[in-house]
Amino acid sequence: MAALGTLGNVPGSQHRRAALAAVLVALATIATCVGTAGAAGAAAGSTELAGGVLVPPGKQVYFGVSDTGNPANFGEFSSAVAKHPAVIESFRSWGADLTGSIERWEIARARPMIHITTADPQTGGEMISLAAIARGVGDSYLIGLNRLFASKHMRAYVRPLGEPNRCLNVYAAYECAGRPREAADSARNYRRAFRRIYVIVHGGGKARVINQRLAEAGLPPLNSTVGGLPKAPVAIVWSPLPSGSPTTKKNLPQNFFPGSKYVDWTGTDFYASYPEWGALTKLYERYPEKPFAITEWGVEAGDDPAFVARLFVWVQRHPRTKMLVYYQDFGSTSSYRIQNYAESLAVLKAQLHTGKFPAYAPGAPHLPPPPPGGVEATPG
């Protein structure tokens, strides 16, 4: 990777080609070390549910793509990369009904990741504060999520309140100028809200057991009369920005960490326009006991095959990275649509066919068998 740091004087397209060549050499070198891992990975397949963290076996990595709300986009993306993504990430607002999302997950036959925001999809305003979540005001929604995933036996990743250190999010603790926002959305209340989400969505006990876990997290008891909560086959993903926006000491990711007991995966978002490789590595290394995910990544300001190639080098050199999800956004003219960037698409397509990325995750949602004489929906 040192070679990439010496290319500052190479102009234009020569810079891109030289950077890409350097990264592809590194990829080829690493690939020789990865090829022997397949058999061991297959043997570990039965352990995916161990600990409730849904980690792919062996050296495998789950590749995913964002859900645009149109199943056809999943199919178009799959065709473009000639690979079925194992994960589909849906972005939903607090309290939103998931019926449409579930249908798309079933059509795609992909394991869901659901990102939860407190921003109103119509107005952009805050629907519920972090302090209110921590107090239990939103318990009915969290209980509903728990029962949904448990009743359907649906393995899923739940990513609550991603990028808490991004000033543009309604639940951010700091304004873009660095000033603290209202206390209800402080870093402390973020940690408390996250813990409550973790305990309730995971479930797995009678009400008194859940309340005991909440008390251990420094939180009030359930704000709902329930006999208990089933154990849901979910993994909770904590995903701040690598260094924060704004990048200040108080806005660093560690200030928002809810505690190891309340996080199954750590992760982050990483885009070509903000390639903070040092901060990415520091975040990865800070929590060595957790699997790591690139919960969103993409190219958005022009074709950047060197970035795509370098990201795959980074993933291979950081073996706890077990998932990366491409953010495709909406529409054929979207700046994130990788089909618009031929060189980046070629690199991605080549990497997805190295044998490291399975096409399906165990237990992925799927449509029921068609009725006699009916026609089954075609997977995206």
**CATH number of the domain residue 168 falls in:** 3.20.20.80
Specify if 124 maps to a domain. yes
141-170 tens-digit pLDDT = 999 999 999 999 999 999 999 999 999 999
Residue with tokens 């058999």: 39
**What is the pLDDT at residue 69?**
94
Where in the sequence is the domain holding 64, given as residue range(s)? 51-351
Specify if 86 maps to a domain. yes
Specify if 138 maps to a domain. yes
**What is the pLDDT at residue 6?**
29
298-307 tens-digit pLDDT = 999 999 999 9
**What is the pLDDT at residue 190?**
98
**What is the pLDDT at residue 268?**
98
367: left (phi over 0), alpha (psi -120 to 50) or beta: beta
Specify if 199 maps to a domain. yes
**105 strand-pairing partners:** none
Tell me the pTM: 0.87
- In this prediction, the residues of the chain whose per-residue pLDDT falls under 70 are 1-52, 368-380
Specify if 359 maps to a domain. no
Specify if 369 maps to a domain. no
Question: In this structure, what are the phi and psi dihedrals at residue 221, rounded to the nearest 5 degrees?
Answer: -70, 175
Measured over all CA atoms, what is the biggest interatomic distance in the chain, rounded to whole angstroms?
67
In the chain, how many H helices and how many E strands?
11, 10
Specify if 357 maps to a domain. no
* Number of domains comprising the chain: 1
The closest alpha carbon to 126, from 162, 94, 166, 174, belongs to 94
**Cα of 216 vs its chain's centroid, Å:** 27
The closest alpha carbon to 208, from 193, 194, 191, 225, belongs to 225
**What is the pLDDT at residue 52?**
63
Specify if 45 maps to a domain. no
Q: Is the dihedral of CA 346, 21, 279, 314 positive or negative?
A: positive
